[in-house]
Amino acid sequence: MKQLGIALLGMGRIGRLHGENLAFNVPQARLVIAADAYLNDAMKEWADSVGVNCTNDVIAAINHPDVDAVFICTSTAAHAELIKAAAAAGKHIFCEKPIHTDLDQIKEAIADAENAGVKLQVGFVRRFDHNHKAVHDTVASGVLGKPHVVKVCSRDPDHQSMDYIKTSGGIFLDMTIHDFDMVRYLSCGEVTEVCAYGAVCSDAPYGDYDDIDTAIIMLKFDNGALGVIDNSRASHYGYDQRTEVQCDKGCVRVDNDLENTAQIASAEGVSVAKPTWFFLERYNNAFIAEARAFCDSVLKDTPVLVNGKDGLMPVAIAMAAAKSYRENRSVLLSEILG
């Protein structure tokens, strides 16, 4: 089997996750080198465990002669510049979301990749979950007719550290951005208007960082559908990930993946297991599927399944949601995109 030589850029949590998949679970890939500007002993030990050389010179890793493509898993602030560097080197690009928090930077990065003739796939992993994909495929097939209502419930199991929250960019860019991608994917349409409500409902000090822990976002789509997203940073019972689309002729929905599917019935009632705890458990197979899909797109020269526009639009929707929340009004996407 022909393999794609890959440089892993960034060896934090998400970088190690991708690196292990590329090393052990993606037969189309060959992990050539791993790089992190903040290389430390723990990263070196991890690189050794997956059998790859490592360096603190990220640009050298991009330009390595055996590298055909890069996986960008660094901090968000570096994503756009690394896309540009990889494009200039003629290397195909997988980039974790978001590409950037500035729309102009995103557009420039996308343009550089297009002009260089290289693939650019953005890491919205939930599209590769078998359950959410089944909802999308049902809607896209037209078997249920036109979509009317799109619902996404996305609740994290527990609070992140406040050190993380103070630099996360806020709930809409940090957390809901996945859901903004999902509503586009599930509705087969584009968001035209956003109205967001938010609050600090817990005792955690989100207000100290101009952030919230609970949000409801209502949306309008260009195909006439309406949407609603609900978010919580701390459900406390597991990773709550449910989606639903109601259409002309019926409804398609998926519930949570549970720790197990046993149903216990007794005189006291009926109980089932809790949802899986967090994204590593819930979307483990989806991470593998998206890496395989990227490699296949490059090796077979087919379009990537999550492209540059798919990287741009959720950021624009997040900006509209943040503006709506701050100004207490609905915001048209045209106000953000111009």
Count of CA atoms in the C-beta half-sphere (13 A) of 59: 4
Q: Are strands 69-72 and 92-96 parallel, antiparallel or unpaired?
A: parallel
Contact (Cβ atoms closer than 8 angstroms) between residue 58 and residue 40: no
Q: What is the pLDDT of residue 160?
A: 93
Contact (Cβ atoms closer than 8 angstroms) between residue 93 and residue 120: yes
Q: Measured between alpha carbons, how far is residue 213 from residues 164, 231, 245, 310, 325 in Å? A: 13, 8, 25, 26, 13
Q: Tell me the β-bridge partners of 139.
A: none
Predicted confidence (pLDDT) at residue 1 exceeds the cutoff of 80: no
Q: pLDDT-derived band of residue 150, with 50, 70 and 90 as boundaries?
A: very high
Predicted confidence (pLDDT) at residue 24 exceeds the cutoff of 80: yes
- Burial environment of residue 264 by CB neighbours within 10 A (0 to 12, 13 to 18, 19 or more): exposed
Domain 4-118 sits in CATH at: 3.40.50.720
**Whole-prediction pTM:** 0.95
Q: pLDDT-derived band of residue 258, with 50, 70 and 90 as boundaries?
A: confident
Question: CA nearest 155: which of 208, 228, 229?
Answer: 229
**Rounded-to-integer distance, Cα 21 and Cα 123, Å:** 14
CATH for the 130-277+314-337 domain, from 3.40.50.970, 3.40.309.10, 3.40.50.2000, 3.30.360.10:
3.30.360.10
Backbone angles phi, psi at 287, to 5 degrees: -60, -40
Question: Nearest-5° angle of CA 274, CA 14, CA 261?
Answer: 20
Domain boundaries, given as residue ranges, for the chain: 4-118, 130-277+314-337
- Condensed to tens digits (0 to 9), the pLDDT of residues 34-71 reads 999 999 999 999 999 999 999 999 999 999 999 999 99
Cα radius of gyration rounded to whole Å, the chain: 20
Q: What is the pLDDT of residue 25?
A: 98
